[in-house]
Amino acid sequence: MLNKVISITDYFLEVGKGKIPFHSVVPAFGENPVITTGFETIWDGGGVYVPPTQARFHNVASDAAADAGTLVSSGTATGGGVNSLVDSSGTFETDLVAVEDLILDDENMDIGEVTAIVSEAEITISRSMRDPETGLDGVGFESGDAYRIVRDASSGASVLHLIGLSPSFLDQDEFVLLNGLNDVVTAKSYPRQHRARVFASAAANAVGTITSETIGEVADTVSLQVIDGNNQALMAVLTIPGDSFGMVGRWWGSMSKKQSATSIFKLRIGQLDHIGYIKQVRSIQSAGASAFDYDFKGGFILPGGSDIWMEADADAANVGVSGGFDVMMVRQS
């Protein structure tokens, strides 16, 4: 009798389905809308990306007053799940919680919307509490979870979901309730930030550019930003968490503006604040191949704490470029 061989036809697909424990696929992609002089990082902040010199709290603000939210109610859950929130000490009716208000689970980092107010102590949730990155069902409310219920204060975004690393270089994230032009200090400190997405209870976009700026640096620097209309940060910059290693399988780049120009792309690995080594170089031009897509055929491994980023130059003014790479994260503990 022959032994049966079971094979996975698409490893990345199975990871994406959540079928392989401790594995996840993290795509990092960005755009530099205008290359000015020399090599610049591919991120929507333009210029060369500069990380904090150490873990820092950040000021988050928009350059438009319309990007703001209002805290309607808050407390600690005593029960619930993916479809409901129960707080035996809640005052949901007194606080005038309304349908479509956003619900933030600050423990499990899930987000949802109010679909009905059952009583002072219970509300139901439209669809379910969801992972803010994937939109898939989240963990749901458990006893002891801190929550906030928020509402758009104006016509823009009201909440920013911010993702980065903790002082010990482990994954961490938080929901920031925006306050328009006014700075909101992050609840956590970050040595690295690499993704963000905005949310609103209405069908709205971020009206202004939202920035997350370090507090305490000699010259305050922007660690991350969301340009109005994009609704998320665009940056081909990523740091491997300290409890994981990353397998890079692919990188790509292209011109994002129709200019007569040549651009050189570099994929760098190492440390953003120390030395960055060139893993690979590609060149494109508007008169020929204006894009590239390279598969590493098995990938290469980066240990925890490593930075990986892309940079590009241009031989003409007002050239925009975009690019990114795919990383398979494997958590070791």
Phi, psi of 297 (to 5 degrees): 55, 65
Q: What is the mean pLDDT of the chain?
A: 92
Question: Which residues are CB-contacts of 135 (< 8 A; sequence separation ≥ 6)?
Answer: none
Is residue 255 predicted with pLDDT exceeding 70? yes
Backbone angles phi, psi at 13, to 5 degrees: -65, -45
At residue 229, the 3 state secondary structure works out as coil
211 within 8 A of 186, measured Cβ to Cβ: no
The pLDDT value recorded for residue 316 is 86
For residues 247 and 299, the answer to whether their CB atoms sit within 8 Å is: yes
* pLDDT tens-digit series, residues 13-38: 777 767 788 888 899 999 999 987 78
Write down all domains in the chain, each with its CATH number in brackets. Answer: 20-49+237-331 (2.60.120.20), 58-67+154-226 (no CATH), 69-152 (2.40.10)
Which of 196, 192, 247, 195 has its CA nearest to residue 25?
247
State how beta strands 276-285 and 262-270 pair. Answer: antiparallel
Sort 171 into a burial class: Cβ within 10 Å, 0-12 / 13-18 / 19+.
middle
Whether 106 has a pLDDT exceeding 70, the answer reads: yes
pLDDT, one tens digit per residue, over 178-229 is 999 999 999 999 999 999 999 998 777 899 999 999 999 877 789 999 998 8
- Residues 290, 254: contact at Cβ < 8 Å? yes
Instruction: Report pTM.
Output: 0.92
Mean pLDDT of 277-290: 89
Residue with tokens 């939109």: 135
For 135-192, the pLDDT digits (tens) are: 889 999 999 999 999 999 999 999 999 999 999 999 999 999 999 999 999 999 999 9
Look at residue 1 in the predicted model and tell me its pLDDT. Answer: 45
